Structure 1
Protein backbone atom coordinates (compact mmCIF):
# COMPACT_ATOMS: atom_id res chain seq x y z
CA UNK A 1 0.00 0.00 0.00
CA UNK A 2 1.38 3.40 -0.90
CA UNK A 3 0.85 6.70 0.78
CA UNK A 4 -1.46 9.11 -0.93
CA UNK A 5 -2.44 12.59 -0.11
CA UNK A 6 -5.81 11.29 1.02
CA UNK A 7 -4.35 8.89 3.63
CA UNK A 8 -1.77 11.28 5.13
CA UNK A 9 -2.58 13.46 8.10
CA UNK A 10 -2.53 17.19 7.39
CA UNK A 11 0.99 18.71 7.52
CA UNK A 12 2.82 15.38 7.03
CA UNK A 13 5.19 15.23 4.05
CA UNK A 14 4.19 13.05 1.09
CA UNK A 15 6.95 10.79 -0.23
CA UNK A 16 6.77 9.17 -3.67
CA UNK A 17 6.51 5.37 -3.36
CA UNK A 18 9.85 3.49 -3.47
CA UNK A 19 12.03 6.57 -3.79
CA UNK A 20 13.33 6.89 -0.22
CA UNK A 21 13.21 3.28 0.94
CA UNK A 22 11.48 2.03 4.02
CA UNK A 23 10.48 4.56 6.66
CA UNK A 24 12.03 3.98 10.05
CA UNK A 25 10.18 3.83 13.29
CA UNK A 26 11.13 6.57 15.78
CA UNK A 27 14.08 5.45 17.94
CA UNK A 28 13.55 4.58 21.56
CA UNK A 29 15.09 6.94 24.06
CA UNK A 30 17.49 5.46 26.56
CA UNK A 31 16.89 7.19 29.89
CA UNK A 32 19.11 4.74 31.79
CA UNK A 33 22.15 5.57 29.65
CA UNK A 34 21.51 9.32 29.98
CA UNK A 35 21.12 8.98 33.76
CA UNK A 36 24.36 7.00 34.06
CA UNK A 37 26.25 9.58 32.00
CA UNK A 38 24.93 12.43 34.17
CA UNK A 39 25.86 10.59 37.38
CA UNK A 40 29.37 9.88 36.04
CA UNK A 41 29.80 13.54 35.05
CA UNK A 42 28.70 14.75 38.49
CA UNK A 43 31.10 12.29 40.18
CA UNK A 44 34.05 13.46 38.07
CA UNK A 45 33.24 17.13 38.67
CA UNK A 46 32.98 16.47 42.42
CA UNK A 47 36.40 14.80 42.48
CA UNK A 48 37.95 17.69 40.54
CA UNK A 49 36.35 20.22 42.90
CA UNK A 50 37.60 18.42 46.01
CA UNK A 51 41.14 18.19 44.61
CA UNK A 52 41.21 21.88 43.67
CA UNK A 53 39.83 22.89 47.07
CA UNK A 54 42.52 20.87 48.86
CA UNK A 55 45.21 22.37 46.65
CA UNK A 56 44.15 26.04 46.56
CA UNK A 57 41.50 26.86 49.05
CA UNK A 58 41.35 26.59 52.81
CA UNK A 59 40.63 30.05 54.09
CA UNK A 60 41.44 28.88 57.62
CA UNK A 61 45.13 28.87 56.67
CA UNK A 62 45.44 32.12 54.74
CA UNK A 63 48.88 33.78 54.86
CA UNK A 64 50.06 37.31 54.07
CA UNK A 65 53.61 38.63 53.84
CA UNK A 66 53.93 41.82 55.86
CA UNK A 67 57.55 42.67 54.94
CA UNK A 68 60.76 41.05 53.87
CA UNK A 69 63.85 42.82 55.21
CA UNK A 70 67.40 42.10 56.30
CA UNK A 71 68.43 41.11 52.79
CA UNK A 72 72.09 40.09 52.60
CA UNK A 73 73.99 37.71 50.35
CA UNK A 74 72.99 34.78 52.56
CA UNK A 75 69.62 35.56 54.20
CA UNK A 76 66.28 37.34 54.17
CA UNK A 77 63.94 38.02 57.12
CA UNK A 78 60.29 37.36 56.27
CA UNK A 79 57.55 38.85 58.49
CA UNK A 80 54.20 37.21 57.82
CA UNK A 81 50.72 36.76 59.27
CA UNK A 82 48.73 33.51 59.15
CA UNK A 83 45.04 32.94 59.88
CA UNK A 84 44.59 29.64 61.71
CA UNK A 85 41.68 28.02 63.56
CA UNK A 86 41.44 29.38 67.10
CA UNK A 87 44.36 28.06 69.13
CA UNK A 88 45.59 25.99 66.20
CA UNK A 89 48.80 25.80 64.24
CA UNK A 90 49.90 25.74 60.63
CA UNK A 91 52.87 24.63 58.56
CA UNK A 92 53.90 27.33 56.10
CA UNK A 93 56.21 26.96 53.14
CA UNK A 94 58.48 29.99 52.78
CA UNK A 95 60.80 30.67 49.88
CA UNK A 96 63.20 33.31 48.65
CA UNK A 97 63.91 34.12 45.02
CA UNK A 98 66.69 36.06 43.37
CA UNK A 99 66.27 38.90 40.87
CA UNK A 100 65.94 36.43 37.97
CA UNK A 101 63.17 34.53 39.75
CA UNK A 102 65.27 31.48 40.61
CA UNK A 103 64.59 29.95 44.00
CA UNK A 104 67.49 30.46 46.42
CA UNK A 105 65.86 29.20 49.65
CA UNK A 106 62.89 27.07 50.70
CA UNK A 107 61.84 26.06 54.19
CA UNK A 108 58.76 24.83 56.06
CA UNK A 109 57.96 26.72 59.26
CA UNK A 110 55.43 25.72 61.93
CA UNK A 111 53.50 28.55 63.58
CA UNK A 112 51.20 28.08 66.58
CA UNK A 113 48.52 30.41 67.90
CA UNK A 114 47.69 31.01 71.54
CA UNK A 115 44.41 29.43 72.73
CA UNK A 116 42.36 32.62 72.19
CA UNK A 117 44.11 33.75 69.01
CA UNK A 118 43.20 33.26 65.32
CA UNK A 119 46.03 35.24 63.73
CA UNK A 120 49.71 34.57 64.21
CA UNK A 121 52.30 37.17 63.23
CA UNK A 122 55.85 35.89 63.09
CA UNK A 123 59.29 36.55 61.63
CA UNK A 124 61.56 33.89 60.16
CA UNK A 125 65.11 34.06 58.84
CA UNK A 126 65.62 32.17 55.60
CA UNK A 127 69.21 31.15 54.89
CA UNK A 128 69.81 31.53 51.14
CA UNK A 129 72.32 30.17 48.64
CA UNK A 130 72.58 33.51 46.79
CA UNK A 131 71.46 37.12 47.27
CA UNK A 132 67.64 37.11 47.47
CA UNK A 133 65.40 39.70 45.90
CA UNK A 134 62.10 38.69 47.54
CA UNK A 135 60.86 36.55 50.42
CA UNK A 136 57.39 35.03 50.21
CA UNK A 137 54.97 32.58 51.77
CA UNK A 138 53.97 30.01 49.14
CA UNK A 139 51.19 28.33 51.14
CA UNK A 140 50.10 27.28 54.61
CA UNK A 141 48.37 24.04 55.54
CA UNK A 142 47.26 22.23 58.68
CA UNK A 143 50.03 20.29 60.45
CA UNK A 144 50.22 16.60 59.54
Structure 2
Protein backbone atom coordinates (compact mmCIF):
# COMPACT_ATOMS: atom_id res chain seq x y z
CA UNK A 1 0.00 0.00 0.00
CA UNK A 2 1.33 3.42 -0.90
CA UNK A 3 1.04 6.44 1.30
CA UNK A 4 -0.63 9.57 -0.02
CA UNK A 5 -0.63 12.96 1.56
CA UNK A 6 -3.82 14.91 1.80
CA UNK A 7 -3.57 18.42 0.60
CA UNK A 8 -5.99 21.16 1.49
CA UNK A 9 -7.60 22.78 -1.52
CA UNK A 10 -7.33 26.55 -1.80
CA UNK A 11 -10.31 28.56 -0.58
CA UNK A 12 -12.87 29.57 -3.14
CA UNK A 13 -13.01 28.52 -6.76
CA UNK A 14 -9.78 28.56 -8.70
CA UNK A 15 -10.10 29.50 -12.34
CA UNK A 16 -7.37 29.16 -14.93
CA UNK A 17 -5.89 32.56 -15.80
CA UNK A 18 -7.26 34.22 -18.91
CA UNK A 19 -10.54 32.32 -18.91
CA UNK A 20 -14.10 33.25 -17.89
CA UNK A 21 -13.59 36.99 -18.19
CA UNK A 22 -12.27 39.31 -15.58
CA UNK A 23 -13.08 38.70 -11.89
CA UNK A 24 -14.83 41.54 -10.10
CA UNK A 25 -14.05 42.72 -6.62
CA UNK A 26 -16.78 42.23 -3.99
CA UNK A 27 -19.21 45.14 -3.84
CA UNK A 28 -19.31 47.54 -0.96
CA UNK A 29 -22.35 47.06 1.29
CA UNK A 30 -24.82 49.82 2.00
CA UNK A 31 -26.44 49.21 5.41
CA UNK A 32 -28.32 52.51 5.26
CA UNK A 33 -30.26 51.21 2.23
CA UNK A 34 -31.49 48.23 4.22
CA UNK A 35 -32.54 50.49 7.10
CA UNK A 36 -34.30 52.80 4.64
CA UNK A 37 -36.42 49.88 3.44
CA UNK A 38 -37.06 48.25 6.83
CA UNK A 39 -38.20 51.32 8.79
CA UNK A 40 -41.38 51.90 6.72
CA UNK A 41 -42.11 48.16 6.74
CA UNK A 42 -41.96 48.07 10.54
CA UNK A 43 -44.16 51.17 10.77
CA UNK A 44 -46.83 49.57 8.58
CA UNK A 45 -46.66 46.30 10.54
CA UNK A 46 -47.01 48.15 13.85
CA UNK A 47 -49.99 50.15 12.59
CA UNK A 48 -51.76 47.03 11.34
CA UNK A 49 -51.01 45.17 14.58
CA UNK A 50 -52.44 47.94 16.75
CA UNK A 51 -55.55 48.20 14.59
CA UNK A 52 -56.18 44.44 14.68
CA UNK A 53 -55.57 44.34 18.44
CA UNK A 54 -58.12 47.07 19.02
CA UNK A 55 -60.64 45.42 16.72
CA UNK A 56 -60.34 41.80 17.89
CA UNK A 57 -58.25 41.55 21.02
CA UNK A 58 -58.79 44.55 23.28
CA UNK A 59 -59.15 43.15 26.81
CA UNK A 60 -61.10 46.25 27.85
CA UNK A 61 -64.08 44.90 25.89
CA UNK A 62 -64.90 41.31 26.76
CA UNK A 63 -68.25 39.56 26.49
CA UNK A 64 -69.59 36.38 28.03
CA UNK A 65 -72.87 34.70 27.19
CA UNK A 66 -74.89 34.01 30.32
CA UNK A 67 -77.75 32.15 28.65
CA UNK A 68 -79.85 31.93 25.52
CA UNK A 69 -83.57 31.26 25.81
CA UNK A 70 -86.94 31.60 24.04
CA UNK A 71 -85.76 29.66 21.00
CA UNK A 72 -88.33 29.55 18.20
CA UNK A 73 -88.17 29.21 14.43
CA UNK A 74 -87.67 32.97 14.07
CA UNK A 75 -85.83 34.21 17.18
CA UNK A 76 -83.51 33.61 20.11
CA UNK A 77 -82.99 35.76 23.21
CA UNK A 78 -79.33 36.09 24.22
CA UNK A 79 -78.38 37.30 27.73
CA UNK A 80 -74.75 38.38 28.00
CA UNK A 81 -72.38 40.42 30.17
CA UNK A 82 -69.90 42.88 28.69
CA UNK A 83 -66.79 44.34 30.31
CA UNK A 84 -66.41 47.97 29.24
CA UNK A 85 -64.50 50.98 30.58
CA UNK A 86 -66.30 52.51 33.56
CA UNK A 87 -69.46 54.20 32.28
CA UNK A 88 -68.48 53.47 28.68
CA UNK A 89 -70.17 51.83 25.73
CA UNK A 90 -69.40 49.00 23.33
CA UNK A 91 -70.61 47.70 20.00
CA UNK A 92 -71.14 43.94 20.13
CA UNK A 93 -71.87 41.56 17.26
CA UNK A 94 -74.33 38.77 18.09
CA UNK A 95 -75.05 35.76 15.94
CA UNK A 96 -77.28 32.72 15.98
CA UNK A 97 -76.33 29.39 14.45
CA UNK A 98 -78.46 26.43 13.45
CA UNK A 99 -77.83 22.77 14.24
CA UNK A 100 -75.66 22.34 11.13
CA UNK A 101 -73.52 25.37 12.07
CA UNK A 102 -74.97 27.74 9.50
CA UNK A 103 -75.43 31.35 10.56
CA UNK A 104 -79.16 32.11 10.74
CA UNK A 105 -79.02 35.52 12.41
CA UNK A 106 -76.55 38.35 13.00
CA UNK A 107 -76.93 41.80 14.50
CA UNK A 108 -74.78 44.57 15.94
CA UNK A 109 -75.91 45.78 19.37
CA UNK A 110 -74.78 48.89 21.24
CA UNK A 111 -74.25 48.29 24.97
CA UNK A 112 -74.06 51.33 27.26
CA UNK A 113 -72.98 51.08 30.89
CA UNK A 114 -74.40 53.28 33.63
CA UNK A 115 -71.96 55.79 35.17
CA UNK A 116 -69.49 53.89 37.34
CA UNK A 117 -70.62 50.49 35.99
CA UNK A 118 -68.09 48.24 34.23
CA UNK A 119 -70.08 45.02 33.65
CA UNK A 120 -73.55 45.70 32.21
CA UNK A 121 -75.81 42.71 31.58
CA UNK A 122 -77.85 42.83 28.39
CA UNK A 123 -80.78 40.76 27.12
CA UNK A 124 -81.29 41.01 23.35
CA UNK A 125 -83.87 39.37 21.08
CA UNK A 126 -82.15 38.28 17.86
CA UNK A 127 -84.31 37.63 14.79
CA UNK A 128 -83.37 34.51 12.80
CA UNK A 129 -84.17 33.07 9.38
CA UNK A 130 -84.40 29.46 10.67
CA UNK A 131 -84.53 27.66 14.01
CA UNK A 132 -81.32 28.45 15.94
CA UNK A 133 -79.47 26.07 18.21
CA UNK A 134 -77.12 28.56 19.87
CA UNK A 135 -76.71 32.31 20.40
CA UNK A 136 -73.21 33.79 20.56
CA UNK A 137 -71.39 37.06 21.05
CA UNK A 138 -68.83 37.17 18.22
CA UNK A 139 -66.95 40.24 19.46
CA UNK A 140 -67.27 43.50 21.33
CA UNK A 141 -65.26 46.65 20.76
CA UNK A 142 -65.25 50.40 21.20
CA UNK A 143 -68.12 52.42 19.74
CA UNK A 144 -67.23 53.71 16.26
TM-score scaled by length of structure 2: 0.79
Name the residue aligned to 1:78.
78
CA distance in 2, matches of 1:133, 1:67: 12
Name the residue aligned to 1:133.
133
2:105 is equivalent to residue 92 of structure 1: no
Question: Cα gap change, 1:111/1:18 in structure 2, threshold over 3 Å: closer, same or farther?
Answer: same
Q: Superposed, which structure 2 residues align to 1:1-144 within 5 Å? A: 17-19=17-19, 21-144=21-144
- Alpha-carbon deviation of 1:129? 2.1
Contact 2:54 2:141 in 1 (8 A): no
Residues 123-132 or 75-84, more deviating:
123-132
Return 5+ residue gaps in structure 1 as ranges: 1-10
CA distance in 1, matches of 2:15, 2:105: 79
TM-score scaled by length of structure 1: 0.79
Aligned residues: 134
The Cα RMSD (Å) is 2.2
CA distance in 2, matches of 1:114, 1:35: 50
Contact 2:82 2:121 in 1 (8 A): yes
CA distance in 2, matches of 1:12, 1:141: 62
What secondary structure is seen at the aligned counterpart in 2 of 1:99? coil
CA distance in 1, matches of 2:130, 2:73: 6
For residues 86-105 of structure 1, the C-alpha deviation after alignment (integer angstroms, 9 at most, x for no partner) is: 01111211111111222222
What secondary structure is seen at the aligned counterpart in 2 of 1:111? strand
